[in-house]
Structure 1
Amino acid sequence: MFLFRDPRDVVVSFVYYVMNKLRTDPSYPYLSNKCSSQKDRYQAMIEGFQDGNYRRPGITEWYERFMRWSKDEGALVLKFEDLVGSNRKNECERIIKYLMPNVKLQSDILSLINVMEENIKPENSLTFRQGKVGCWRDEFDEELKRITKELCGPLLIDLGYETTNRWL
């Protein structure tokens, strides 16, 4: 299974996660000591950075490491936004059919979907902050949008988050 999320939201989510919950991450010293603002942290994650022996790739390079999985005919490709949105039941059904191809009865599938939904407990998750789609819009200023377009434009189009590089 290949699950992906809008790279802009990944940047925002990752920065909040590292700064507030995972201070043992190798990115933390750079983000906390060498970035003077949240904007600087976002820019560092978008562009990538080198801190001593530690190199953090930019978000496009980071995604490109996994993109071949999205083209694998044997992979189930899922969008985070579909899993948290109104399409959740359909996506859960796709997961069930992928993992358990012998389940044929719709009643069994619906029971499994109910179990899956009952097990969604954001309050128990270390990585959950908001789970909102498009939160980058509240965080990125015009300069960050410009940088993101330059460095991530083709990726955003390939992933289906934008149709052109003329977004916002």
Structure 2
Amino acid sequence: MNYTIYNVARLYGRDCIFATKYWKEKIFNQQAKSLILCNSYPKSGTHLLYQILYSIPEFKFKMWDDIVSVQALCGIMNTASHIRWKIGSAPNHSIIRSHLMYCDRVLDVLKEFNYKTLFIYRDLRDVAVSHARWVTKEKRIFLHDIYLEQDNFDEQLMTSIKGLPLGTPFGSNVSQPDIGTDFSRWRGWIDYSKTLAIKFEDLVGERGGGSEEKRLRSVAQILDYLKINLSAEQIKTKFASHILNPEESHTYKKGNKGSIGGWKKMFKESHKKEFKRVAGDILIDLDYEKDLSW
């Protein structure tokens, strides 16, 4: 979907609604809101982290049924004002799912709130597979029609890896960076001192092909970051991976979501070569690989 007048008008209308809610609360509620930001690079396990957060016993922070993102589904980048208004329209003590890159403008917006940020990230090879599947299923996203015009999933996966240069197809104003360039805009959250960064692979547990010990240890880290005291037995009883239901995620697809290393079945040599070119160094930097010999 291109940058049409319809999309621009629709987004302006949407922002008017959020701005109205924001200013209404700003005028009548003087205290800064307390919020939990459940942030991720897209397709990295947002709902897995979100589900754990809203399942914490007697936690005063609750679910909020919306997502804050730097980019609208139609492809247009959202403004800093949109992010401020949308976050500000959420009720106090909300858990907010988000896809917000790490940059000064986002950090400036967040200064307005009392917030804690958790950031989940994942092996970008699995992200690429998940992204390609999602785009082919999600009719509202701007890349959907382009992906459907491609001959097979191999081509769609390659597009999720190397992106789309501006003007592809010819005459289009659609573009998408390669996965390495795109992730670099989120990379700063991992080292940001005020953020707890967690690997998807450490949190998914046995149900997704991971370690239950790592999962429970990661949950304990989350609880410690949020200053919540639960015993080891309580954590095991409440947060074992077989207890929480992945099908509650709106992007869940049975057999395709929530597992580690699925890329190994989908990547051809051409995919590996291109991925190493655009994002191989990131895998090494984040300890997913020791070198580029895979």
TM-score category by the smaller chain? 0.7 to 0.9
RMSD: 1.8
Amino acid at match of 1:40: E
Q: Deviations over 1:67-98 (max 9, x none)?
A: 01111122111000111121111111111111
Q: Which residue among 107, 113, 128 is the counterpart of 2:252?
A: 128
Amino acid at match of 2:153: Q
TM-superposed deviation, 1:113: 5.8
Work out whether 1:148 is the aligned partner of 2:264: no
Alignment correspondent of 1:111: 234
Question: Runs in 1 of length 4+ with deviation above 6 angstroms?
Answer: none
Report how many residues are paired. Answer: 161
Q: Deviations over 1:80-129 (max 9, x none)?
A: 01111211111111111112x2x34x52x643564445872112222223
Separation of aligned partners in 2, 1:140 and 1:61: 20
The alignment's TM-score, normalised by the length of structure 2, stands at 0.51
Alignment correspondent of 1:27: 143
Q: Which residue among 145, 152, 159 is the counterpart of 1:44?
A: 159
C-alpha contact (below 8 Å) 1:47/1:151 kept by paired residues: yes
Amino acid at match of 2:234: S
Separation of aligned partners in 1, 2:155 and 2:236: 41
Work out whether 1:92 is the aligned partner of 2:92: no
Question: Matched residue of 2:139: which SS?
Answer: coil
Amino acid at match of 2:285: D
Q: Which residue among 4, 7, 14 is the counterpart of 2:131?
A: 14
TM-superposed deviation, 1:156: 0.9
C-alpha contact (below 8 Å) 2:216/2:235 kept by paired residues: no
Separation of aligned partners in 1, 2:125 and 2:259: 12
Question: Matched residue of 1:57: which SS?
Answer: coil
Structure 1's unaligned 5+ residue stretches are none
TM-superposed deviation, 1:18: 2.0
C-alpha contact (below 8 Å) 2:216/2:239 kept by paired residues: no
Q: Which is further off, 115-124 or 125-134?
A: 115-124
Alignment correspondent of 2:202: 82
Separation of aligned partners in 2, 1:25 and 1:113: 38
TM-superposed deviation, 1:39: 0.9
Separation of aligned partners in 2, 1:112 and 1:155: 32
Larger radius of gyration: 2
Structure number with higher helix proportion: 1
Alignment correspondent of 1:55: 175
Separation of aligned partners in 1, 2:236 and 2:193: 24
How high is the sequence identity, in percent, across the aligned residues?
A: 30
C-alpha contact (below 8 Å) 1:93/1:113 kept by paired residues: no
TM-superposed deviation, 1:24: 0.9
